[in-house]
Amino acid sequence: MSDSRIESHRDRGSGIGDPTNAAGRDSTLDVLMDAARAVREHAHADYSGFKVGAALETADGTIVTGCNIENATYGLTICAERVAMFKALSDGHRQFRRMVVVAPPEAPTPPCGACRQVLWEFAGDLEIILANLNGETGRHRIGELLPQPFDRRLLK
């Protein structure tokens, strides 16, 4: 059986440099967490009450945020992760370091299948840091969450 986790044409999200403060703590991660928590408050979650915020760090250090926006038909709802990615792409960003996703439950809340596919397509094996309102709950790479992606190699 072959390993379907191929290298994407995008940045793996590593080797770009991880700024740490004097205490050895990743100060950019703190900023990403705060940004995701803050944007979560803008979520339009009138139907589920489940507010999610995402903060995407680009290769140049820009932080792009997104929140979930629900629609009465549910199928037209868009998740925080896709809002952040689409905003980043529309602003011209093409390489990404990592994404923080903040959701209310104590248990880790990973991206849905549609978000996993979009993140793979545009960011490759991106690091995803899951958190709730109190702190980090987990870390994954998209390749772990989406082990057999549908991507450009299948369209040749």
pLDDT for the residue numbered 156: 85
14 in a domain, yes or no? Answer: no
Kindly name the residue from 41, 57, 70, 81 that is annotated as catalytic. Answer: 81
15 in a domain, yes or no? Answer: no
22 in a domain, yes or no? Answer: no
80 in a domain, yes or no? Answer: yes
pLDDT for the residue numbered 126: 98
pLDDT for the residue numbered 17: 46
pLDDT for the residue numbered 150: 92
CATH number reported for the structural domain that contains residue 43 in this entry? 3.40.140.10
141-to-23, 28, 46, 124, 125 alpha-carbon distances in Å:
26, 18, 30, 9, 6
Which stretches of the chain score pLDDT less than 50? Answer: 1-18
Which residue range forms the structural domain that includes residue 71? 27-155
pLDDT for the residue numbered 21: 52
117 in a domain, yes or no? Answer: yes
The pTM assigned to this predicted structure is 0.84
Asked if 127 is an active-site residue, the reply is no
Number of domains in the chain: 1
